[in-house]
Amino acid sequence: MNEDYSKIFDRISTAVNNIPTKVATVAVNFSKERFVEKNWINKRKISWKKTKKKRGSTLVASGRLKRSIRKITVTPQYVSIGTDVPYARAHNEGLEISGTESVKQHTRKQHRRRSYIRKDKRIKAQIVKSHTVKQHSRKYKRKFVKRQFIGQSQELEDRITKLINSEISKAIKG
């Protein structure tokens, strides 16, 4: 009889040790789901404001931001996920960024806007002239709409609670 309890305790101990890694995976997948569903779920769904993009998905041009979400810290008491992409915070929190940038001197080519076809041969836009742009600085102001994809959520906590309960009950049942 003692051997049966010791096996159960060993299984529970193993399950408890494995839970933080599984919780981190659930949290990463939850954050990546936001890019697919284009919303944030806390106690209710909050859809992201639509963009003016004609092609592609909101917040996904190259996929770098979505792919960068990963486990940062996994300990028995604490799980942290995050991203190292510099513009992630601006999109997640909806920030307004302003500053000054320097533009180096460069040559700009001016051309005709249209290409046309002559004798079944496509003629591309031709360069008419070019001019030099002097070095200068300009101010910019950029406002990012809040499209949250990472953070604390009641829905995520419910999923984590469900995972913990199922892992413990599987360990007890064997």
- Given a cut of 90, whether residue 7 has pLDDT beyond it is no
Q: Is residue 98 within 8 Å of 139, Cβ to Cβ? A: yes
Q: Is residue 68 within 8 Å of 116, Cβ to Cβ? A: no
Close Cβ partners of 86 (under 8 Å, ≥ 6 residues apart): none
* Predicted local distance difference test score (pLDDT) of residue 165: 93
User: On the CB side of 10, how many CA atoms lie within 13 Å of its CA?
Assistant: 7
7 vs 160, higher pLDDT = 160
* Predicted local distance difference test score (pLDDT) of residue 8: 85
pLDDT in tens, 77-109: 999 999 999 988 988 998 998 999 999 999 987
* Predicted local distance difference test score (pLDDT) of residue 3: 58
Helix (H) or strand (E) holding 26: helix 2-37
- Given a cut of 90, whether residue 128 has pLDDT beyond it is no
- pTM score, two decimals? 0.74
Q: How confident is the model at residue 113 (pLDDT cuts 50, 70, 90)?
A: low
DSSP string, 89-111: HHHHHT-EEEEEEEE--EEEEEE
Close Cβ partners of 99 (under 8 Å, ≥ 6 residues apart): 139, 140
DSSP string, 97-166: EEEEEEE--EEEEEE-S--EEETTEEEPP-EEEEEEEPPEEEEEEEEPPP---SS--HHHHHHHHHHHHH
* Predicted local distance difference test score (pLDDT) of residue 155: 92
pLDDT in tens, 60-73: 778 888 899 999 99
For tokens 């499209």, name the residue.
147
For tokens 């060993």, name the residue.
10
Close Cβ partners of 96 (under 8 Å, ≥ 6 residues apart): 141, 142, 143, 144
Helix (H) or strand (E) holding 66: helix 64-68
Q: What is the mean pLDDT of residues 159-172?
A: 92
At 126, which amino acid appears? Q
Lowest mean pLDDT among 76-80, 120-124, 130-134, 147-151: 120-124
